Structure 1
Amino acid sequence: MSDATPDPSYDPAAEVVDICRDLIRMDTTNFGDGQGPGERKAAEHVATLLEEVGIATELWEAEPGRTNVVARWGGDQGEPMLLHGHLDVVPANADDWQLHPFSGEVQDGMVWGRGAVDMKDFDAMLLSTVRARARAGRVPSRPLVLCFTADEEAGGHLGAGPLVEAKREWFEDCTYAVGEVGGFSTTVRGRRMYLVEAAEKGMAWIRLTATGNAGHGSMRHPDNAVTHLAEAVARIGRHEWPVQLTPTMRVLVASVGELAGTEATPDNALQLVEEFGPAARMLGAVLSHTTNPTMLEAGYKVNVVPGQATARIDGRFLPGLQDEFLATLEELVGPHVEVSFDSLQDGLETAYDGAVADAMTASILEEDPGAIVAPYLMSGGTDAKHFTKLGMRAFGFAPLRLPDDLDFTGLFHGVDERVPVDALEFGARVFDRFLGRI
């Protein structure tokens, strides 16, 4: 059956809500330290959903319970494309939530739970669309690799990272990778704008270790590890990184500048980003490098000066500017403090052009005529960092038409994470159109 054949019974969104709810109910919390239930249960569920419609799957683990799912589907025309999502989620404290974070409840027109926006919503869109197409015989002409990974929330070191090395044959001929955190809507000056991820900041999870002379807390200790560390942390945390517009953000702020009737420049970029309302929290962070102190550890008793103190810094640097970022970091750290990295991954950026980008734009506009589609640089990181090592161009495209009053970016890793039911259904319809175009 071709995509052009009318079929009133065909509905790519028919299962999206139920699949999303089922995935949320499977606790796949990733604490980042080896604890947690792992992704095995969710991975087996995903494999079953694909096998039910005739798509053969393979499960692969870097460690027991840290399970990845890979499948091949589609035709044989053109170069293969990777469609990927992750199955793990960050921790959630149930006492902080209005509804239990692993309930998958539907309330107020939304699906609630950890992973509702990061990123079991996209997993559900992809699965619902693929299952509908497989049942209807609407197989895309392009060969597709479907991949659902473990450990993305801890950098992918037990998921996409080793997976692309161990199973390189699955991915090495793919030219594009399409995954999470893109295609969601914001409203700027009354116009709905969909942001497609075309770039990601690099990630530097920094460990600072200060050393000094240990001893009794009542004596003089000019060589104090805690003092050395505190001074370094304060310098890093207070440093004002300059605004630098990457190619992707030049396109985005120019789009906003056109709506605001002004020319976009580095000088007014922050002001223009404020036009995005709550989303400015994330978009303002991609106009420069960022370094946020997040953890401190030192000592074991109040009257004992420790010989060592440690801190963690979440550093994110603009794509292509890693060397500049690290050089400034060394200057800020100063003496007595050693720098190491729990994870250091470069950023990525690709131009928003070509047939795949055109298909994304057209698919959104067919469902929401009059909207604007523009690329953006994401402040966080995804598994795309691992897949682009094989030469793929990567986009984030999990389309959601969102209400103006929903602080969507604040829900990532936040309390009361939720996604509108109609946004999920919209996303499945858009993604179905996308698969029909590629």
Structure 2
Amino acid sequence: MSEVAEICSQLLRIDTTNDGGGDGPGERRAAEYVAGLLDAAGLDPVVFESAPRRTSVVARVAGSGSSSARGALLVHGHLDVVPADASEWRTHPFSGEVEDGLVHGRGAVDMKGSLSMTLALTLDWARRGVRPKRDLVLAFLADEEATGEYGAGHAVERHRDLFDGCTEAISESGGFTWHDGDVRLYPLAVGERGTAWMRLTARGVAGHGSKPAVDNPVAELARALARLADHRWPVRLTPEVAQLIDGLSRALGTTIDLDRLDEEIERLPRAAALFRGVLRNSANPTMLDAGYKVNVIPGTARAHVDGRFLPGQREEFLETIDRLLGPKVTREFVSFDDAVSSPAEGLYDELATALLAEDPGARPVPYVMTGGTDAKWFARLGIRGYGFAPLMLPPDLDYFGMFHGVDERVPVKGLEFGVRVLDRLLAAPAAKPDAAQPGSRAWPRPLP
């Protein structure tokens, strides 16, 4: 088994379920495993906790100095995973089983597979005496699958010095193969929608359920939620999404009509999956809490809503939310992060070049994520983030379906591809092979 597959398998065997309530096993065991590998690579990992078992690891790799003027590059990812019901899986979600060229387990795609690529490359560099072209800060963080407060948030607020000099970052949800017929698209994330998780509250008059209601907060909240759920948000074509659509048009050899995007989604469903979720803001009711007895009208009703908004759309989004809720329903934020975006140039071009060196048929395109990552926390330090965890996938593997889905799995060859791409991107020029010869790295390397 290649080193990257073995590391991935080991990480998947460690249950780091994050249920959002702090009752899970925590990230400590995974953090200790990661710290051990970083130590074996000759680094000096810093291990810290924001709360018992909520553990993160950060290490710095000194660069060659060839790109010192650009500052350090942060490579970050999360150790936690969302819950998994073992009864629904073909293999146990924490088995780390390697079967038919695939590594199975919760987090294989999101995102222990990506972490294993970074770790395998770091170990390989240590053996070969390779240095990166610029300083790297490697961060393996807790709590991304909730609010990030116990992971990236804590790191940014309490351990800011660990990220001194970082100007740019790469992390999850970009650089994967997206097949559209014979075209291999590689979306590179340059932005994320903002996050507005809200708790809604309606207050009324408590009373007997058999009597005419004076002011029923359950009914008031239900009407407000229906207005939210039924609202058709208008298309707001941001510059980043316009760039994506232009890139798709050129890659596919067609014209995508920006004035008829809903029709184009029907015409090009595969390509449109990359942009249909980022044409509009959204607000989805997800939780309800009201009442305590069938014959009692409660005085209070509450609900939670997952709101997402595009870059530059925060004020319009919040104004629309307030109008739809009406005067009798109040809102408060459970978690709020503004939308982030980075230019599709500079580091973006380097990401595309590294992909093309390993897959000359790749068609990189800029991409905006519907959800969010820890990049929003690091944006508070002025660090520009990109989604880039390179992964070559076969046409029959549903990448988006793997996120938080059942039977999550990642190809071993895809992980090995990712290590080679990261090597080309990060290693100092003197250590790199001829970029014109794809796949010239001697990967995979077996474990000793």
Corresponding letter in the other structure for 1:398: A
Structure 2 residue aligned with 1:287: 279
Q: Give unmatched runs, 5+ long, in structure 1.
A: 1-12
Structure 2 residue aligned with 1:209: 201
Equivalent residues of 1:320, 1:348 under 8 A apart: no
Equivalent residues of 2:56, 2:151 under 8 A apart: yes
| Structure 2 residue 197 is the aligned partner of structure 1 residue 198 | no
Deviations, residues 183-232 of structure 1 (Å, cap 9, x unaligned): 01112242101011110010011111111111111111041111011011
SS of residue matched to 2:94? coil
TM value normalised by structure 1: 0.93
Equivalent residues of 1:411, 1:417 under 8 A apart: yes
Cα separation, 1, equivalents of 2:302 and 2:50: 29
Equivalent residues of 1:282, 1:409 under 8 A apart: no
1:293-308 to structure 2, matched below 5 A, reads: 293-308=285-300
Cα separation, 1, equivalents of 2:240 and 2:333: 27
TM value normalised by structure 2: 0.91
Cα separation, 1, equivalents of 2:188 and 2:274: 14
Cα separation, 1, equivalents of 2:73 and 2:174: 17
| Structure 2 residue 331 is the aligned partner of structure 1 residue 339 | yes
Structure 2 residue aligned with 1:418: 409
Structure 2 residue aligned with 1:310: 302
Equivalent residues of 2:245, 2:275 under 8 A apart: no
Q: Structure 1 pair 279/117, CA: closer, same or farther in 2 (3 Å)? A: farther
Counterpart of 1:188 (choices 180, 185, 208) is 180
SS of residue matched to 1:267? helix
Q: Give unmatched runs, 5+ long, in structure 2.
A: 430-448
Structure 2 residue aligned with 1:401: 392
Q: How many Å apart are 1:70 and its aligned residue? A: 0.7
Corresponding letter in the other structure for 1:399: P
Cα separation, 1, equivalents of 2:38 and 2:98: 25
- Stretch deviating more after TM superposition (56-65 or 276-285): 276-285
Q: How many Å apart are 1:316 and its aligned residue? A: 0.7
Cα separation, 2, equivalents of 1:282 and 1:376: 7
Q: How many Å apart are 1:255 and its aligned residue? A: 1.9
| Structure 2 residue 119 is the aligned partner of structure 1 residue 127 | yes
Cα separation, 1, equivalents of 2:29 and 2:365: 37
Structure 2 residue aligned with 1:59: 47
| Structure 2 residue 317 is the aligned partner of structure 1 residue 329 | no
Q: Structure 1 pair 277/264, CA: closer, same or farther in 2 (3 Å)? A: closer
Cα separation, 1, equivalents of 2:192 and 2:268: 19
| Structure 2 residue 121 is the aligned partner of structure 1 residue 144 | no
Structure 1 residue aligned with 2:14: 26
Equivalent residues of 2:18, 2:145 under 8 A apart: yes
Aligned-residue CA RMSD (Å): 1.7
Counterpart of 1:98 (choices 82, 90, 109) is 90
- Stretch deviating more after TM superposition (63-72 or 99-108): 99-108
1:8-27 to structure 2, matched below 5 A, reads: 14-27=2-15
Structure 1 residue aligned with 2:435: none
Deviations, residues 320-372 of structure 1 (Å, cap 9, x unaligned): 21111111110010121110110010010011101x22221111111111220
Deviations, residues 44-95 of structure 1 (Å, cap 9, x unaligned): 1000001012111111111121111011113252111111010001111111
Equivalent residues of 1:217, 1:303 under 8 A apart: yes
Cα separation, 2, equivalents of 1:294 and 1:279: 28
